[in-house]
Structure 1
Amino acid sequence: MSEPGSPRDDVEQKGLLRDSFDGIDDAEVLENGRANGHGHHKSRRSRSGDDWYRSRKIWRSASAWLRPRNMLIALVVLIVLAGLGALWHRPSSSGDSNAPDQTAPEKPKPSKKPHPVPVAGGKHPSVSPWKKPKGFKIIGLIFFGRQRTVEILDCYLKRNLVSNGGFLDEVLWVANTDNEDDLKYMDKLVQTSPLYKNMTLINLGYASVWEHAVDDKNMFIKIDDDMVYFSDNAIPDIVYTKLKHPETLDVVANLVNSPETGWLHYHVGAIHAYLPEMEPPKDQKPAALGPKAWRASALPQWEGDNMTFPLGDKGTDGVVLEDDAPGAPPFKGHRWLPLKEQHKNLYNTPISHTEYNAYGPDWTSWALAAQVQYSLLENIEKDQLDKYHYGGGLDLAREGIWDMKYGRMNINFMAIWGKDVLEAVPFEDTDDERFLSETLTRRLDRPLYVNTHAIAAHFSFRTQHEIFDSDLLSRWRAYANEMICTKENQIPTS
């Protein structure tokens, strides 16, 4: 019994007996008190009654929870509470559709990588990343005139027919010539595909051809007959851009050998240092010469003392340079060869004279035309056509758009609605290019866009006739035979 008047006596009087502490005796409490006090003994009598009672109660509660049965119950309770919490925070499928989905992954950021450009038929069996639109036809419109380049173009057109998985529902060949040999060739060509059709309009200017060749229900892809290359995605991409941006009057491919794009290609790093060989080669390896040669990697380096080549002084009327004139081709069938120290020596090559000018040297110089096309062949071989993808674009993930701001642009490879053409005929200008890219776009406030992912090579203007003395046409023929044409549609090489 405790002494009368002690704190213990007060507790017992309230019915809080020692047995209620589950057999924990004073010795245990005191021993723990010593341990907690680091060995310093303190009597119960030295504490206040409330402190003593509180410590005994806490110890009893802790001991009870440490029992296995109670620990198991606590664990079950925690698991149940966690499950209820998850259900509480999970959004209901029938609730507010704007509620954030905690389990949804973060929305991916738009890719800044350029849209992939297929470059070789053997490596890229799918010619189009887009599904062909329905409800109208996509018709290729070819102004026919030159057999030696049409032989190459034919392979690309057949590859892009709907019957081969492409976008072209049909191809309309419009002969604006009275040359009997050319007309016979066109008649023969049309027979090679049920989707080829022809139309002969003799002694009509290009502006007048439009009125007779188009209808008001379909989209037309106007392609010049001397387009010697275009990427597999070229037609789908300009069609896609035309549909996505109805505010445009026309959409043009990113043309290699064009006054409006040459300066841009130079400054974005797509052009490489090349100069013409000045004498016929002594070592004639088949990989670098001949009907199967197109790869830049097989070419020897340019050698010589005078590391430069003049553009040639001539006007814009198509006059051909004399054989001994500065800037004339060194000999027929010559190649253009890469220079060592490309970046340093690029400034010594014709491309250094390029201008952003529709009537500048890029239009008149055959040397510029040769250098940019040799550069394209190198970029094709290295699978680096993304070098041409300038233009921030209106959709970085899918497009590279260059707005011409109502300036003149070549329409060698262009998408346009037939309805827009027919509403403007007869053209008030005999120059259909100037009218469709400059005059009409400004009048209607409907710009011309260039899709820079759609790469297309234009062989020559009438002012660049000397380029036929190079071996470039045979190189484009070799590339097409290997990569584009079928075995049944090989281009003659002799």
Structure 2
Amino acid sequence: MAGETGTHYFQRNLVHHGGFLDEVVFLQRTSDQEDIDWLHTTVSKTPGYSIANYTEDRVSNYAHSWDLCEPGTMYIKIDDDIVFIEDTTIPAIVDTKLKNPNSLLVSANALNQPALAWIHHHLGVVKPYLPELTPIPGPNPKPKYDWRASDLPDWQGPQSYTVPDDFKPPFPSHRWLPARHLNNTDGTPITTADYTPDGPGWYRWTVAAQQHYSFFEHLEKGELWRYRFTVWDYHYDRLSTTFMCIWGDDVVAIRDDMSGDDEGYMTIEAPKRLRRRMPSLIYSSSSSSFKNIALF
């Protein structure tokens, strides 16, 4: 999780602050000295934080991440590229896991996950956004951070424009702008998303961009409820384990057979063998080009 955003959220969710977390354990998988210094400084001054160090031969095998799990404890795994977490995320996934004991794990409803991109599109959550093709003058000086969709100008371009599959950024720091002249998402990148774990929602950065800008619009309007749905049963399809919870007892029972691809093992192989299907409930975001967001 990114810097102070993550640590503040974790602190609010520690038991001694009225939350669900007894402790926060960071798995150090970086050789970047600046990151290491930040991590050790943060942990040293924060009660309830600790670091699990791994030798170099274990860092490359993600299955070793689960070696620290013990019976009788529920574990919430959060990847380091999460940049936003909605306040009810942890309570919601814990509650869902307790109400679905036969499910091996419960995942967050992740914004910008390949298959969930398709689901969010069909829920009508993704808005029509298109890339800024030529610079449109804005405030001078330009704000360093300005994520609010209401401050964005209308998209300008040919009425019949569609984003090519191999679209490249037209200029540095270009934005994606609301196509307010459109009444649906026809012709925008999200329409290429399909219900697969490795489709366009995984490898097309344009799909990720449209989802993120749509999220900013809903966040500004206080409409994150639009992403909510009850439980989605994955029927043994692969899902990213960006944000998930699982009982330590179950990890101990299956980890000896876990390969380096812990994600595939925990979302496909183990649930199928045990006949314990995995639901998804909540909300986050990820891809190779963008960072993650976690909501309810």
The CA deviation string for residues 12-35 of structure 1, in whole angstroms up to 9 with x for no partner, is xxxxxxxxxxxxxxxxxxxxxxxx
For CA contacts below 8 A with separation 6 or more, give which structure has more relative contact order: 2
Using the TM superposition, give the Cα deviation of residue 193 of structure 1 relative to its aligned residue in structure 2, in angstroms.
1.5
Query: TM-score normalised to the size of structure 2?
Result: 0.90
Within the alignment, does 1:336 sit opposite 2:176 as a pair? yes
- C-alpha distance in 1 between matches for 2:81 and 2:172: 20
Q: Which amino acid aligns with 1:337?
A: L
Secondary structure in 1 aligned to 2:42? helix
Within the alignment, does 1:193 sit opposite 2:33 as a pair? no
Q: Which residue of 2 aligns with 1:370?
A: 209
- C-alpha distance in 1 between matches for 2:15 and 2:173: 37
- C-alpha distance in 2 between matches for 1:416 and 1:342: 42
Q: Which residue of 2 aligns with 1:440?
A: 270
- C-alpha distance in 2 between matches for 1:202 and 1:301: 52
- C-alpha distance in 1 between matches for 2:136 and 2:21: 43
- C-alpha distance in 2 between matches for 1:427 and 1:186: 31
Q: Which amino acid aligns with 1:334?
A: H
- C-alpha distance in 2 between matches for 1:310 and 1:156: 38
Contact 2:112 2:284 in 1 (8 A): no
- The change in CA–CA distance for 1:342 and 1:163 in structure 2 (over 3 A counts) is farther
Q: Which amino acid aligns with 1:172?
A: V
Contact 1:161 1:167 in 2 (8 A): yes
- C-alpha distance in 2 between matches for 1:260 and 1:420: 25
- C-alpha distance in 1 between matches for 2:119 and 2:227: 9
- The change in CA–CA distance for 1:163 and 1:335 in structure 2 (over 3 A counts) is farther
1:356-435 equivalences in 2 (<5 Å): 356-390=195-229, 400-435=230-265
Contact 1:259 1:357 in 2 (8 A): yes
Using the TM superposition, give the Cα deviation of residue 292 of structure 1 relative to its aligned residue in structure 2, in angstroms.
4.1
Within the alignment, does 1:456 sit opposite 2:296 as a pair? no
Q: Which residue of 1 aligns with 2:115?
A: 260
The CA deviation string for residues 112-146 of structure 1, in whole angstroms up to 9 with x for no partner, is xxxxxxxxxxxxxxxxxxxxxxxxxxxxxxxx7xx
Contact 1:272 1:342 in 2 (8 A): no
- Which of these two proteins has the greater Rg computed from alpha carbons? 1
Q: Which amino acid aligns with 1:221?
A: I
1:339-354 equivalences in 2 (<5 Å): 339-344=179-184, 346-354=185-193
Structure 2 residue aligned with 1:221, among 63, 71, 76?
Answer: 76
Instruction: Give the count of matched residue pairs.
Output: 289
Using the TM superposition, give the Cα deviation of residue 281 of structure 1 relative to its aligned residue in structure 2, in angstroms.
3.6
The CA deviation string for residues 319-361 of structure 1, in whole angstroms up to 9 with x for no partner, is xxxxxxxx122233222110023324x1121101111011111
Using the TM superposition, give the Cα deviation of residue 443 of structure 1 relative to its aligned residue in structure 2, in angstroms.
0.6
Contact 2:104 2:246 in 1 (8 A): yes
Q: Which amino acid aligns with 1:180?
A: Q
Using the TM superposition, give the Cα deviation of residue 200 of structure 1 relative to its aligned residue in structure 2, in angstroms.
1.5
**Sequence identity of aligned pairs in percent?**
38
Q: Which residue of 2 aligns with 1:169?
A: 22
Using the TM superposition, give the Cα deviation of residue 263 of structure 1 relative to its aligned residue in structure 2, in angstroms.
0.3
Within the alignment, does 1:290 sit opposite 2:120 as a pair? no
Using the TM superposition, give the Cα deviation of residue 225 of structure 1 relative to its aligned residue in structure 2, in angstroms.
0.8
Within the alignment, does 1:152 sit opposite 2:5 as a pair? yes
The CA deviation string for residues 70-125 of structure 1, in whole angstroms up to 9 with x for no partner, is xxxxxxxxxxxxxxxxxxxxxxxxxxxxxxxxxxxxxxxxxxxxxxxxxxxxxxxx
- The change in CA–CA distance for 1:285 and 1:237 in structure 2 (over 3 A counts) is farther
Mind listing any 5+ residue stretches in structure 1 that lack a counterpart?
1-143, 313-326, 391-399, 477-494
- C-alpha distance in 2 between matches for 1:350 and 1:415: 31
The CA deviation string for residues 211-265 of structure 1, in whole angstroms up to 9 with x for no partner, is 1x22222111000111111211111011011111111100011100101200010
- C-alpha distance in 2 between matches for 1:360 and 1:236: 31
- C-alpha distance in 2 between matches for 1:332 and 1:188: 34
Contact 1:276 1:337 in 2 (8 A): yes
Q: Which residue of 2 aligns with 1:206?
A: 62
Using the TM superposition, give the Cα deviation of residue 436 of structure 1 relative to its aligned residue in structure 2, in angstroms.
0.5
Q: Which moved more, 1:150-159 or 1:357-366?
A: 150-159
Query: TM-score normalised to the size of structure 1?
Result: 0.55
Contact 1:403 1:450 in 2 (8 A): yes
Contact 1:167 1:236 in 2 (8 A): yes
- C-alpha distance in 2 between matches for 1:285 and 1:274: 24
Using the TM superposition, give the Cα deviation of residue 285 of structure 1 relative to its aligned residue in structure 2, in angstroms.
5.8
State the superposition RMSD in angstroms: 2.1
Structure 1 residue aligned with 2:93, among 238, 243, 267?
Answer: 238
